[in-house]
């Protein structure tokens, strides 16, 4: 092989390594295990309940992350501080709760009034996955005994992609996984 051919091969290998390093669906999911998430929930159950109450007190703020908010009437960002949906002090309370509870993705209301608390998200919006907690006043389905290897079941066609699947923790509380 010539020097140029070797260089091209090395460049191709490096490019593929970078592409696949960010692609969890190829290399496997790297979300926290169910056991770790459930242990965190049990340790901080009171704080999780408090966070849900905060979200219910701010029902027009349908997505709250560390660095942006969405209102039920305005998803544009950035917006002036007066249009965030609550005070900076309140936003800092949410941020403190997210940090304490390990919620890297914050929270989001769904159209059917579920509250998703995202612990981790991997990949890109059109090709990735997320895992966390969900609060619901109604039973959710489909439920599974474990979500630890559910990404593999999705890739093998045993579970439909892009639809959330659940594991019940206790009444009103579930783990969720969504992805492809």
Categorize the per-residue pLDDT at 47 as very low, low, confident or very high, splitting at 50, 70 and 90: very high
| pLDDT higher than 90, residue 115 | yes
Do 176 and 131 touch, CB atoms closer than 8 A?
yes
Average pLDDT in the chain: 85
What residues does each domain of the chain span?
Answer: 1-26, 31-179
Give pTM, 2 decimals. Answer: 0.82
Q: Which of 34, 33, 64 is nearest to 173 (CA)?
A: 34
**What is the per-residue pLDDT across 124-178, written as a single tens digit (0 to 9) for each?**
766 789 999 999 999 999 999 999 989 888 888 888 888 899 999 999 999 999 9
For 172, counting Cβ atoms within 10 Å of its Cβ (0-12 exposed, 13-18 middle, 19+ buried), the class is middle
């Amino acid at each position: 092989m010539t020097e140029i051919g070797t260089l091209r091969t090395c460049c191709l290998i490096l490019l593929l390594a970078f592409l696949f390093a960010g692609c969890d669906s190829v290399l496997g999911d790297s979300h926290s295990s169910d056991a770790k998430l459930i242990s965190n929930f049990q340790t901080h159950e009171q704080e999780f309940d408090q966070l849900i109450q905060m979200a219910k007190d701010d029902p027009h703020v349908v997505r709250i992350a560390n660095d942006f908010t969405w209102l039920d009437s305005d998803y544009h960002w950035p917006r002036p501080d007066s249009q965030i949906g609550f005070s900076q002090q309140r936003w800092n309370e949410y941020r403190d709760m997210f940090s304490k509870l390990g919620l890297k993705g914050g929270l989001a209301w769904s159209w059917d009034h579920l509250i998703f608390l995202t612990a981790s998200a991997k990949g890109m919006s059109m090709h990735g996955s997320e895992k966390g907690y969900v609060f619901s006043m109604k039973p959710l389905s489909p439920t599974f005994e474990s979500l630890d290897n559910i990404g593999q079941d999705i890739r093998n066609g045993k579970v439909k992609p892009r639809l959330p699947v659940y594991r019940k923790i206790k009444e009103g509380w579930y783990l969720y996984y969504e992805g492809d």
